[in-house]
Amino acid sequence: MSAATDRYEPVIGLEVHAQLLTASKLFCGCSTAFGAPPNSHVCPVCLGLPGALPVLNRRAVEYAIRVGLALGCEVRRSSRFARKNYFYPDLPKGYQISQYELPLNESGAIEIEMEAGPKRIGIVRAHVEEDAGKNVHPTGSPTSLVDFNRSGVPLVEIVGAPDLRSAAEAAEYLKELRAILMAIGVNDGNLEEGSFRCDANVSVRPVGQAEFGTRTELKNINSFKFVRQAIDFEVRRQSSVLEAGEAVRQETRLWNDARGETFPMRSKEEAEDYRYFPDPDLPPVEVDAAFIDRIQNEMPELPSARRRRFVKALGLSTYDAAVLASHPRVADYFEAALAEYGAARAQGAKPVANWVINTLMKTARIDGLEAIFAVPAAHLAQLQKLVDEGTISLTVARKVLDEAAERGVAPAQVVEEKGLCQVSDVAAIEAACRDVIAAHPAEVEAFRGGREKLFGFFVGKVMKATKGQGNPKVVNELLHSLLGA
């Protein structure tokens, strides 16, 4: 950070567009499936053909209310759709159906965990709107191509308050928001496919000044890494502009990953003037209290509550709890494995968490809200129990897991078939120790002469003689007593 940056405080607010995971579009029955051939999921409504009328998707409203409740918003019993008017080829009607006055959800907040402690970030509003189509610009062609498969796909736009004061806070807020939307099952959190998108409003002000500075809007920052880099770059850029006695221009800037900088988007020919007005095709959306109550009652546990429970009830570290709760299926898998421990859950928590975080999560196939793990949760629990009971060592357990995963059989079966049970039979291990000592008189003499590092050599030899199945604790004890003599 340059000295200039130290004299200025960043003020950041994020706008997130998240696709609501419905089967059909917001105002028509066209499929929302990703990856279909261009313009294969279109109809007169989402193509904006004359005479077509929108009919609202009930599940989209339900999901958006779920978002509002999860973000602590006030859910409006009567909200309204408005037309946002502008011309662009990906917008077939010449307007986007969005919400302006009287949005569905307003005035919420979420909490993010920073090193300095928890911080509350306000949510200004979370409203429903339709997505636009997609433009492609083939190289060297005089035309641009438009695919309307996405046109009319339901989105919730979540407008965060300008409460963020660093790129790190912005990234944390974005992660938490994503975890919440995934936990409540309304969004798959896929930044790459564009089902979870983020724009950042960034300004800086001299430290101590109350008023906000002039802001720029950053686009094209669809990864957590880019969010941090783009905001950091923009804060430095604006600070040096002010430091040079110049003024920040209010503009939209695009993040260029290759160059690691933001640059101004070619300014539109006219200032933004969307001439919002209530959509005459869509009467107000009325939702009754019973509908909202039902959604509230069906609300799953939110990531923050789940993390707290993992720490308080299971004794996990805050780091482990955060990793596990970052994806609802990972947390579910962890809990399913732990359920096999019954009353001894707290005892199994740490080792099972270690397996999930260090091994199972790394090999899992995670696709949006779905996750497929190498072995069923019950098999993971069985594996760790074999370790707990001293039947196999942790080293052997890793090999057993690989084989159980590959063959699709229970760990106990692998251990049984391969005769991998750890040898705890003291007589058998003692015989192996005596053999090793007898076979290496020179090393024994050196060890007794003070070269204590050689102890590991003997352990290795004994483990080799017992094919890795000697109980390490028993081996250590026996070698100590035999060599110490």
State the residues that interact with other proteins by CB under 8 A.
22-24, 28-33, 37-44, 46-47, 49, 55-61, 80-81, 85, 87-89, 135-139, 141-148, 270, 273, 275, 278, 280, 282-286
Task: Output 28 or 227, the one with its CB closest to other proteins.
Answer: 28
Task: Output 137 or 365, the one with its CB closest to other proteins.
Answer: 137
Task: Output 115 or 288, the one with its CB closest to other proteins.
Answer: 288
End-to-end Cα distance, the chain: 62
Is 263 in a helix, a strand, or coil?
strand
Return phi, psi of residue 120, to 5°.
-90, 130
Return phi, psi of residue 189, to 5°.
65, 25
**Residue 369 Cβ vs other proteins, minimum distance, rounded to whole Å:** 16
Task: Tell me the pairing of strands 95-98 and 154-160.
Answer: unpaired
**Residue 74 Cβ vs other proteins, minimum distance, rounded to whole Å:** 18
328-335: long-range contacts, CB 8 A cutoff, minimum separation 24: 328/182, 328/183, 328/185, 328/300, 328/303, 328/369, 329/366, 329/369, 329/370, 329/371, 330/356, 330/361, 330/364, 330/366, 330/371, 331/306, 333/360, 333/371, 333/373, 333/377, 334/377
The residue assigned the tokens 């062609």 is 141
The residue assigned the tokens 């959306």 is 285
Task: Tell me the pairing of strands 8-19 and 154-160.
Answer: antiparallel
Using CA atoms, how far apart are residues 92 and 322, in angstroms rounded to an integer? 43
**Residue 96 Cβ vs other proteins, minimum distance, rounded to whole Å:** 15
**Residue 100 Cβ vs other proteins, minimum distance, rounded to whole Å:** 11
Task: Tell me the pairing of strands 196-206 and 216-219.
Answer: antiparallel
Using CA atoms, how far apart are residues 140 and 452, in angstroms rounded to an integer? 73
What six digits make up the tokens of 42? Answer: 């279109």
Task: Output 58 or 451, the one with its CB closest to other proteins.
Answer: 58
Task: Output 153 or 352, the one with its CB closest to other proteins.
Answer: 153
**Residue 303 Cβ vs other proteins, minimum distance, rounded to whole Å:** 25
What six digits make up the tokens of 6? Answer: 């130290």
**Residue 423 Cβ vs other proteins, minimum distance, rounded to whole Å:** 60
* Among 324, 327, 326, residue whose Cα is nearest residue 337: 324
**Residue 39 Cβ vs other proteins, minimum distance, rounded to whole Å:** 5
Task: Output 58 or 434, the one with its CB closest to other proteins.
Answer: 58
**Residue 97 Cβ vs other proteins, minimum distance, rounded to whole Å:** 11
Task: Output 286 or 388, the one with its CB closest to other proteins.
Answer: 286
Side chain identity at 357, as an amino acid letter?
Answer: I
**Residue 459 Cβ vs other proteins, minimum distance, rounded to whole Å:** 59
Query: E strand or H helix at 114, and its extent?
Result: strand 105-114
Spatial CB neighbours of 177, under 8 Å, sequence gap ≥ 6: 16, 110, 158, 160
Spatial CB neighbours of 238, under 8 Å, sequence gap ≥ 6: 8, 202, 203, 204, 213, 216, 248
Using CA atoms, how far apart are residues 293 and 62, in angstroms rounded to an integer? 11
Task: Output 49 or 339, the one with its CB closest to other proteins.
Answer: 49
176's torsion region: left (phi>0), alpha (psi -120 to 50) or beta? alpha
Task: Output 52 or 109, the one with its CB closest to other proteins.
Answer: 52
Task: Output 273 or 389, the one with its CB closest to other proteins.
Answer: 273
Using CA atoms, how far apart are residues 329 and 183, in angstroms rounded to an integer? 9
Using CA atoms, how far apart are residues 71 and 63, in angstroms rounded to an integer? 12
**Residue 38 Cβ vs other proteins, minimum distance, rounded to whole Å:** 4
Task: Output 255 or 334, the one with its CB closest to other proteins.
Answer: 255
Task: Output 19 or 382, the one with its CB closest to other proteins.
Answer: 19
* Among 31, 73, 55, residue whose Cα is nearest residue 299: 73
**Residue 154 Cβ vs other proteins, minimum distance, rounded to whole Å:** 9
**Residue 281 Cβ vs other proteins, minimum distance, rounded to whole Å:** 9
